Amino acid sequence: MENRLIATKVLFAVCPSDKMELLAGTSVDQLKCRLRDLQYLKLLEQLKLSQSESAFANCNKEGLLKGLWAVAHKRSEVGSFDHH
């Protein structure tokens, strides 16, 4: 994941948009969406929640966010009991 993220960032840094579209075979907007998704996937990996690019692209983002919030909320509740 990390290598794809870095490669996509480098592509944006060194390649003009028209050549980028020609080389990648897709629009710059699509590449920007892919870069955004790769950044989210990297953050999810840091939370020990790995997903493939296709699974992430097709998942319900609202459901994912609610699930993450619920887990974080439960962890904070458990942590508050530890201090008593």
Chain-centroid distance of CA 72 in Å reads: 18
Amino acid sitting at position 10: V
Distance CA 59, CA 62 (A): 9
Cβ-based neighbour number of residue 40 at 10 Å: 14
Tens digit of pLDDT for each residue in 41-67? 999 999 888 899 999 999 999 999 999
Place of tokens 């996509």: 8
Tens digit of pLDDT for each residue in 68-82? 899 888 877 776 655
Amino acid sitting at position 83: H
